[in-house]
Chains A and B, each alone.
Chain A
Amino acid sequence: MFQRRMRLQIAGLLVILFAPIPLASGTLASRSERSINARAASTPSLQPLLARHAALKQKLAQLAPPQHYIVVDTAHNRLYVKRGKETVLTAIASTGSGTILEKPNQPGSQWIFDTPRGGFSIQSRLTNPVWVKPDWAFLEEGIQVPSNPAERVESGILGDYALGFGKGFFIHGTLYTRLLGKNVTHGCIRLNDDDLRTVYKLAKVGTPLMIF
């Protein structure tokens, strides 16, 4: 008799213990995002929130460039041309060296040779560009800065094309292709001839350029 009562109590205990299992496994099964969203969508109070979420996502997507855009990773010296999520071109580049050059006769004033980081756009497209050498180019070489502007012009240095993105910075070619992949420039972005040609073809004035 005692044993029978004991067994009944144990059976009751078993029911209590294992009753939550279907509930628990049901809960676990519902952890996937799809089913949560489905349940959320069916909950009246969540519908406006989810609608707002979808609208914001769409708004954000609309801010992305609809055509080609250029991304430059200055830490790894890479330039990418992308369209949507597709990468159209991956190129090895050279970007700013980050070094400093003191300006003569101007204590505390200096040039910092960094590639600027941020959001830009292509402002000019040049073929057969010439380099108008800035003061620092002469000073680095230990040459007197010329008073005649014509003496600053040097051709055949920048490759076949140059794409300006503001404040004197360009994406251009280089004679020093062995230095591609290194931080050696005065702020411009250098590419080899083939990659430069592709970028020139794909990029228009207004093409977004993102540098990080």
Chain B
Amino acid sequence: MTFFVLIVSLSTLVWPSTVIALDASPQPADRSSAIIQVNRLLEEEVKLAARPQIYLVLDLDASVLIIKSRGIELHRVPIQAWRRDGDRSIEGIYRLRARPAVSRPKAAPADDTSVTAIELQHMPDQYELVFDPGVVIAVSPLQERPWIRLKRAAQDWWNGMRHRLRIGDTDVGTSAVRISIMLEQEAARSLAWTATDGMPILIGLTTLP
């Protein structure tokens, strides 16, 4: 009887891991589609890198956002956590349409020159970057306190729902995808600083599986 219990216990331990391991096995078809996806992204990047401009590369699988120019990595922003809403495939190139508003200090002519400059600490750490066609990246800072994280998650979910409903009303046939990313606070502010109108972003796998 003890022997039987031992067998059953072992089987419960072994089976799930086996199934996971078998699922993790990259099938040839998966590998080829992954390589095709990486190649497509590289083709787009070659086009972008041929022009003098700054562009972003978002690889959710690697949890990283990279600021690049001419194929060179200028700055790497690690993503602490992410979530996406929407089923549509998002691999490809997008352009920034809307970014967080920045309140600029104004000086009048003949004013003294002690007007405060905009610095990184003045940039928002929670905002949305709206890309065409139909991708929204919601950025929020990494918070230590669980209740703040919970509040943000609820807020994020609500924003996602509102966004989906709004897009559904206006863009017939286009389902917007909402990606929520959580960054270190300074990285979130730095990204808000770097984002400029029309900035391209490539979304997809950047390395071979």
A interface residues with partner B (beta carbon < 8 Å): 10, 13-14, 17-18, 20-21, 23-25, 27-28, 30-31, 33, 36-37, 40, 43, 45-46, 49-50, 52-53, 56-57, 59-61, 63-65, 69, 71, 73-76, 97-102, 104, 112, 117-121, 139-142, 182-184, 208, 210-212
User: In chain A, what residue has the closest Cβ to B71?
Assistant: A60
Which of B11-19, B126-134, B175-183 lies at the interface with chain A?
Answer: B11-19
Which of B10, B67, B70 meets A119, CB within 8 Å? Answer: B70
Q: Which residues of A contact B150 (CB under 8 A)?
A: none
Residue of A nearest to B20 (CB): A24
CA distance A69 to B70 in the complex (A): 11
Q: Are B38 and A119 in contact (CB under 8 A)?
A: no
Beta-carbon contact of B24 and A17 below 8 Å: no
B101 interface residue per 8 A CB criterion: no
Contact A27 to B22, CB < 8 A, known contacts A46-B31, A117-B54, A183-B119: yes
Contact, CB under 8 Å: A142 / B110: yes
- 10 example contacts (A-B, Cβ-Cβ < 8 A) are as follows A13-B7, A25-B21, A27-B22, A33-B209, A40-B31, A49-B32, A97-B115, A99-B116, A101-B108, A210-B69
Contact of B24 among A31, A52, A100, A102 (CB under 8 A): A31
Supposing A20-B22, A46-B32, A117-B194 touch, asked if A212 and B67 sit within 8 A by C-beta, the answer is: yes
Stretch in B45-53, B84-92, B141-149, B165-173 touching the partner: B45-53
Q: Do the beta carbons of B54 and A53 come within 8 Å of each other?
A: no
Residues on the A chain within 8 Å of B74, using CB: 71, 73, 210, 212
Beta-carbon contact of A118 and B53 below 8 Å:
yes
Is the beta-carbon distance between A140 and B42 smaller than 8 angstroms?
no
Query: Bound state CA distance, A140 and B110, in angstroms?
Result: 5
Measured CA separation A75–B193 after assembly (Å): 6
Q: Determine if B104 is an interface residue (Cβ-Cβ < 8 Å).
A: yes
Select from chain B the residue with minimum beta-carbon distance to A13: B7
A7 to B31, CA, bound (A): 43
Does B81 have its Cβ within 8 Å of any Cβ on chain A?
no
Given contacts A36-B31, A118-B196, contact A140 B70 (CB under 8 A): no
- Which residues in B have some Cβ–Cβ distance to A below 8 Å? 3-4, 7, 10-11, 14-15, 17-18, 21-22, 24-26, 28, 31-32, 35-36, 38-39, 42-43, 45-46, 49-54, 67, 69-72, 74-75, 102, 104-111, 113, 115-120, 123, 189-190, 193-194, 196, 207-209
Which of A17, A31, A104, A112 lies in contact with B109, CB distance below 8 A?
Answer: A104
Chain A residue contacts of B115, Cβ below 8 A: 97, 99
- A21-B18, A75-B190, A142-B109 known; 6 other A-B pairs, CB under 8 Å? A36-B26, A46-B32, A60-B46, A98-B104, A119-B69, A140-B113
Residues of B within 8 A of A57 (CB): 42
**Total CB contacts across the A-B interface at under 8 A:** 170
Closest chain A residue, CB of each to CB of B194? A212
Q: Among the interface residues A14, A33, A74, A101, which one has the most CB atoms of the partner chain B within 10 A?
A: A101
A-B pairs, top 6 by smallest CB distance, nearest first, are: A119-B52, A98-B118, A97-B117, A142-B110, A24-B21, A56-B42
CA distance A49 to B38 in the complex (A): 10
Chain B residues positioned under 8 Å from A142 (CB to CB): 109-111
Do B109 and A61 touch (CB < 8 A)? no
List the B side residues contacting A119 at CB < 8 Å. 51-54, 69-70
- Tell me the nearest residue of chain B to A119, going by C-beta: B52
**Known contacts A28-B21, A119-B69; A46/B35 CB under 8 A:** yes
A102 to B50, CA, bound (A): 37
Question: Which of B43, B72, B189 makes the CB contact (< 8 A) with A210?
Answer: B72
A24-B17, A75-B120, A121-B52 are known contacts. Are A100 and B106 too (CB-CB below 8 A)? yes
Question: Which residues of the partner chain A approach B75 to less than 8 Å between Cβ atoms?
Answer: 73, 212
Contact across chains for A50 and B193 when beta carbons are under 8 A apart:
no
